[in-house]
């Protein structure tokens, strides 16, 4: 399990490195990235109401999927279910990474860093503790 | 196909992995795999986010500073190490407070993300602003509420009893109104100070909301906070227009709500009563002395003799068993009985532990096979065929008053019908009442014998007596 963890963290770090070296990144001297902004020609502007409706649709459908899937989980597994879904709620790590990356002042960078850290505790701790518990349920 | 159009697809695959992962949580055999699928989805989402940053920066007309990637890497490593150490070290009995803490951290991260994104977005839409306000409120309530829940579950001295807040519900209502006013200000003015005020007010609200809630209701609170942490992530998803956040948050939100409902039903408490710390006041119940007039006490040797002729034994564990660390001793008892051709099952009440499903984990840790862990609804109809029911460290969840006395504070609460078994052995330290604070007529029933002992010691003595008797 420790190896798995190291593998995961290592994988994430490799990803960070790749992303940091992708051609769009601002060079360290501060020059703007040379690659032009790739906007697809078919892109249309959506009105705020349209995009809200789209997001709400996704939200509501996901709630229904959640209800369907979760009601089938037996009470025996409710604790691992909780810690596992808890780890999934650490998905806010995605937002934290975006905020940190886009930050242009020290305060937002700090806020972003803190958010990345907290969310990552939630994610890694949640998945690992769930793994620990579920291993106990394996047939001996 | 360039990477830009790949990112949303990666988020989609991550969401699908989360859903499949949760689906596989439906059976103990596939659950490990399900959890790993979820972790894989998270890895994918993080990978996508790392490239997403580039794209968003480009769209805004600037590049990402490389040092920011260093910051992200630091955050990821530090967070992972802290999380991993916590997950490795935690005792299974301490799982509820651990989950509460993680919930809180997720909520806090959502608050920070929504605030940071607001500071970066010069022209937010009204939807984004409303979502940002929601994220601030739900996230802050989750964080501070979870911290208080953690303190209560960890039994820190500060949280031993609720702080007396004069006219608590009025204060809460006022605070809620103020929070809403602050968020209206936030939406109207797109002002960052308003965001901070909203988050601060919601923080106080979070503390005050969980403050009055008592020990027995903790499973409900944890499940609810679990749901909130998901909703906070979802709100953040609306604020930064990211579908994977919306979907995952909704999944977790739904999961938490279901568990909250189940817990409420298992305690026969309405959610509002739990939230407002109302203890359902009971009518005049019979006095303790009267109820316990015919209590019969027994010895391990006598119990061993009774068990000698038993074909089917059901063990009913309560949280008292976990407190006394008696799980392993009970597992031995089960083996000893099984060696003599006896069928042994465990009857698990939904609120037997301190969070949904807690008792199952505690018994699984002691190597009890999950096939032998029976739910209340599954075992109750067959209870009259049970030769001996052994109740260890449970009280309110086996109190027949819940069925018989409509005026009792636990009236209508589903219980495990141990009183229908041919013989009931109750292993308990004393006749002290459970959380509901009422006497339990089961202890004085004609088919009940009380074995007064400390959980672990009592079971060990019982094991020794059975081995002695079978020689």
A contacts of B59 (beta carbons < 8 Å): 37
Supply the pLDDT for residue A45. Answer: 65
B-chain CB neighbours of A88 within 8 Å are: 18, 21-22, 38, 41-42, 230, 248, 251-252
Could you tell me the pTM of the whole model? 0.87
Alpha-carbon torsion, ordered A28, A29, A33, A34, to 10 deg:
-130
Same domain, yes or no: B319 and B239: no
Locate the chain B residue with the closest alpha carbon to A54: B243
pLDDT level of residue A126 (50, 70, 90 thresholds): very high
Judge: A63–B250 Cβ closer than 8 Å, yes or no: yes
C-alpha to C-alpha distance for B155 and B142, rounded to whole angstroms: 19
| Confidence at residue A18, expressed as pLDDT on a 0 to 100 scale | 72
B385 shares a domain with B237: no
Inside any domain, residue B203: yes
Residue B165: pLDDT over 80: no
Contact between B274 and B426 (Cβ < 8 Å): no
* pLDDT score, position B62: 75
pLDDT at A38: 46
Flag whether B281 is in a domain.
Answer: no
Chain centroid to Cα A130, Å, comes to 18
Nearest to A79 among B46, B251, B356 (CB): B356
**Nearest Cα to Cα of residue B445 among B418, B416, B412:** B418
Are B269 and B293 contained in the same domain? no
Residues B310 and B459 in one domain: yes
The pLDDT value given to residue B159:
75
Burial B440-461 (b: 16+ CB within 10 A, else e): bbbbbbeebbbbebbbbebbbb
Query: Side by side, which strands form the sheet with B312-317?
Result: B373-375, B343-348, B312-317, B388-392, B423-428, B448-452
CB contact under 8 A, B35 and A24: no
Give me the percent of chain B exceeding a pLDDT of 90.
41
Residue of A nearest to B110 (CA): A92
B302 and B378 co-located in one domain: yes
Domain that holds residue B309: 288-469
b/e burial code for range A84-118 (CB count within 10 A of at least 16 → b): bbbbbbbbbbbbbbbbbbbbeeeebbebbbbbbbb
pLDDT digits (tens, 9 = 90+) for B10-44: 999 999 999 999 999 999 889 999 999 999 999 99
First-last CA distance in chain A: 18
Contact A76 B59 (CB under 8 A): no
Q: Is residue B300 part of a domain?
A: yes
Verify that B31 and B95 share a domain, yes or no.
yes
- Residues of B with a known catalytic role: 396
- Which residue did the predictor score with more confidence, B407 or A5? B407
Cβ contacts of A65 within 8 Å, gap of 6 or more:
B19, B250, B251, B254
Q: Closest by alpha carbon to B387, among B311, B336, B463?
A: B311
A10 touches chain B (CB under 8 A): no
Chain-chain contact of A112 with B18 (C-beta, under 8 angstroms): no
Measured between CA atoms, the residue of chain B closest to residue A105 is B120
In whole angstroms, what is the distance from residue A70 CA to residue B24 CA?
10
Q: Does B171 map to a domain?
A: yes
> Residues with Cβ < 8 Å from B463, sequence gap 6 or more?
B329, B332, B333, B336
3-state secondary structure chain B: CCHHHHHHHHHHHHHHHHHHHHHHCCCHHHHHHHHHHHHHHHHHHHHHHHHHHHHHHHHCCCCCCHHHHHHHHHHHHHHHHHHHHHHHHCCHHHHHHHHHHHHHHHHHHHHHHHHHHHHHCCCCCHHHHHHHHHHHHHHHHHHHHHHHHHHHHCCCHHHCCCCCCCCHHHHHHHHHHHHHHHHHHHHHHCCHHHHHHHHHHHHHHHHHHHCCCCHHHHHHHHHHHHHHHHHHHHHHHHHCCCHHHHHHHHHHHHHHHHHHHHHHHHHCCCHHHHHCCCCCCCCCCCCHHHHHHHCCECCHHHHHHHHHCCCEEEEEECHHHHHCCCHHHHHHHHHHHHHCCCEEEEEECCCCCCCCCHHHHHHHHCCCCHHHEEEHHHHHHHHHHCCEEEEECCCHHHCCHHHHCCCCCCCCCCCCCHHHCCEEEEEECCCCCCCCCCCCHHHHCCCEEEEECCHHHHHHHHHHHHHHHCC
> How do residues B227-260 score in pLDDT, each as one tens digit?
999 999 999 999 988 899 999 999 999 999 999 9
Residue B282 belongs to some domain of the structure: no
Give pLDDT, residue B278: 65
What is the model's pLDDT at position A28?
Answer: 42
pLDDT digits (tens, 9 = 90+) for B286-311: 677 778 888 888 888 888 888 888 89
* B300 and B358, same domain (yes or no): yes
**Domain end among B230, B251, B275:** B275
Task: Note whether B409 contacts A: Cβ–Cβ < 8 A.
Answer: no
What is the complex's ipTM, to 2 decimals? 0.89
Identify all chain B residues contacting A57, using CB atoms and an 8 Å cutoff: none
Q: What confidence tier does B149 reach under pLDDT thresholds 50, 70, 90? A: very high
CB pair distance less than 8 Å for A95 and B241: no
- Residue A6 sits at the chain B interface (C-beta within 8 Å): no
The domain segmentation of chain A, as residue ranges, is: 91-140
**How far apart, in whole angstroms, are the C-alpha atoms of residue B209 and residue B32?**
35
Same domain, B236 and B313: no
Q: How confident is the model at residue A40 (pLDDT cuts 50, 70, 90)?
A: very low
B127 touches chain A (CB under 8 A): yes
Report d(CA B295, CA B442) in Å as an integer: 9
Q: What is the pLDDT of residues B175-214, one digit of tens each?
A: 899 999 999 998 888 888 899 999 999 999 999 988 888 7
Among residues A94, A120, A82, the alpha carbon closest in space to that of B14 is found at A94
Beta bridge partners of B450: B297, B426
Query: Would you put residue A68 in left (φ > 0), alpha (ψ -120 to 50) or beta?
Result: alpha
Report yes or no on B221 lying in a domain: yes
Q: How does the average pLDDT of chain A come out, rounded? A: 80
In the prediction, which pLDDT does A37 show? 47
Q: What is the pLDDT of residue B306?
A: 86
pLDDT of A25 strictly over 70: no
Nearest to A89 among B64, B69, B248 (CB): B248
**Dihedral sign from CA coordinates of A70, A71, A72, A74:** positive
Nearest to A82 by CA among A30, A31, A134: A134
Tokens of B442: 């089961």
Judge whether B170 lies within some domain.
yes
Are residues B216 and B294 both part of a single domain? no
pLDDT band at B86; cut points 50, 70, 90? very high
Kindly state the average pLDDT of the residues B426-431: 87
Is the domain of B146 the same as that of B270?
yes
Last residue of a domain, one of B223, B248, B275: B275
**Residues within 8 A of B (CB atoms), A 41-100 only:** 48, 51-52, 55, 58-60, 62-67, 69-100
What residue in B sits closest to A60 (Cα-Cα)?
A: B250
Looking at the structure, do residues B443 and B309 belong to the same domain, yes or no? yes
Q: Is the dihedral of CA B70, B71, B73, B77 positive or negative?
A: positive
Number of structural domains found in chain B = 2
From CA B185, how far away is CA B391, in angstroms rounded? 56
Q: Do B76 and A120 touch (CB under 8 A)?
A: yes
The nearest CA of chain A is from the CA of B289 a distance in Å of 37
CA-closest candidate to residue B461, choices B332, B362, B323, B320: B332
Asked whether residue B118 is assigned to any structural domain, the reply reads yes
Query: How many CB pairs lie under 8 A apart between chains A and B?
Result: 467
pLDDT per residue as tens digits for the range A73-120: 998 899 999 999 999 999 999 999 999 988 888 889 999 999 999 999
Shortest distance, CA B302 to any CA of chain A (angstroms): 33
B70 shares a domain with B217:
yes
- Chain-chain contact of B110 with A24 (C-beta, under 8 angstroms): no
């Amino acid at each position: 399990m420790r190896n798995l963890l190291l593998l995961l963290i290592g994988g994430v770090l490799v990803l960070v490195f790749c992303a940091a070296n992708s051609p769009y990144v601002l060079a360290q001297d501060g020059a703007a990235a040379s690659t032009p902004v790739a906007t697809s020609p078919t892109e249309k502007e959506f009105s705020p109401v349209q995009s809200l409706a789209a997001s709400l649709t996704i939200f509501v459908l996901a709630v229904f999927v959640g209800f369907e899937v979760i009601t089938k989980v037996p009470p025996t597994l409710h604790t691992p279910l909780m810690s596992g879904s808890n780890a999934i709620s650490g998905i806010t790590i995605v937002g934290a990474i975006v905020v940190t990356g886009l930050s242009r002042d020290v305060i937002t960078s700090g806020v972003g860093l803190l958010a990345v850290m907290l969310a990552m505790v939630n994610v890694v701790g949640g998945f690992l503790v769930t793994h620990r518990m579920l291993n106990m349920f394996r047939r001996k | 196909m360039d990477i830009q159009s790949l990112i949303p697809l990666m988020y989609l695959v991550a969401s699908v992995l989360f859903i499949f992962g949760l689906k596989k949580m439906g059976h103990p055999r596939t659950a490990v795999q399900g959890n790993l699928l979820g972790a894989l989805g998270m890895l994918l989402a993080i990978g996508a986010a790392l490239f997403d940053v580039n794209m968003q920066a480009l769209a805004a007309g600037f590049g990402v500073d490389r040092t920011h990637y260093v910051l992200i890497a630091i955050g990821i490593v530090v967070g992972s190490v802290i999380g991993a150490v916590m997950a490795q070290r935690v005792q299974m009995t301490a799982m509820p407070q651990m989950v509460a803490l993680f919930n809180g951290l997720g909520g806090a991260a959502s608050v920070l993300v929504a605030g940071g994104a607001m500071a970066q977005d010069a022209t937010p839409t009204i939807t984004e602003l409303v979502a940002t306000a929601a994220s601030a409120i739900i996230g802050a309530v989750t964080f501070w509420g979870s911290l208080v829940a953690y303190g209560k579950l960890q039994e820190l001295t500060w949280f031993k009893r609720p702080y007396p807040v004069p006219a608590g519900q009025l204060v809460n209502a006022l605070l809620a109104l103020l929070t809403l006013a602050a968020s209206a200000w936030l939406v109207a003015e797109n002002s960052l100070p308003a965001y901070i005020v909203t988050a601060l007010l919601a923080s106080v609200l979070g503390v005050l909301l969980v403050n009055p809630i008592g020990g027995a209701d903790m499973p409900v609170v944890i499940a609810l906070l679990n749901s909130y942490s998901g909703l906070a992530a979802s709100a953040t998803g609306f604020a930064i227009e990211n579908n994977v956040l919306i979907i995952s948050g909704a999944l977790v939100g739904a999961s938490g709500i279901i568990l909250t409902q189940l817990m409420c039903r298992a305690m026969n408490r309405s959610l509002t009563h739990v939230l407002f710390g109302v203890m359902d006041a009971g009518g005049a119940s019979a006095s303790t002395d009267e109820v316990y007039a015919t209590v019969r006490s027994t010895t391990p040797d006598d119990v061993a003799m009774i068990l000698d002729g038993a074909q089917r034994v059901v063990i009913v564990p309560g949280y008292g068993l976990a407190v006394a660390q008696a799980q392993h001793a009970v597992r031995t008892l089960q083996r000893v009985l099984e060696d003599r051709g006896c069928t042994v099952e465990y009857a698990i009440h939904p609120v037997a532990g301190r969070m949904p499903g807690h008792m199952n984990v505690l018994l699984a840790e002691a190597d009890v096979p999950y096939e032998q862990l029976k739910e209340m609804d599954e075992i109750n109809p067959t209870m009259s065929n049970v030769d001996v029911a052994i109740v260890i460290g449970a009280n309110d969840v086996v109190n027949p008053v819940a069925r018989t006395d409509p005026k009792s504070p636990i009236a209508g609460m589903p219980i495990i019908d141990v009183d229908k078994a041919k013989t009931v052995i109750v292993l308990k330290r004393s006749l002290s009442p459970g959380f509901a604070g009422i006497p339990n007529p089961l202890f004085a029933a004609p088919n009940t014998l009380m074995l007064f002992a400390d959980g672990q010691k009592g079971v060990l003595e019982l094991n020794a007596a059975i081995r002695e008797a079978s020689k």
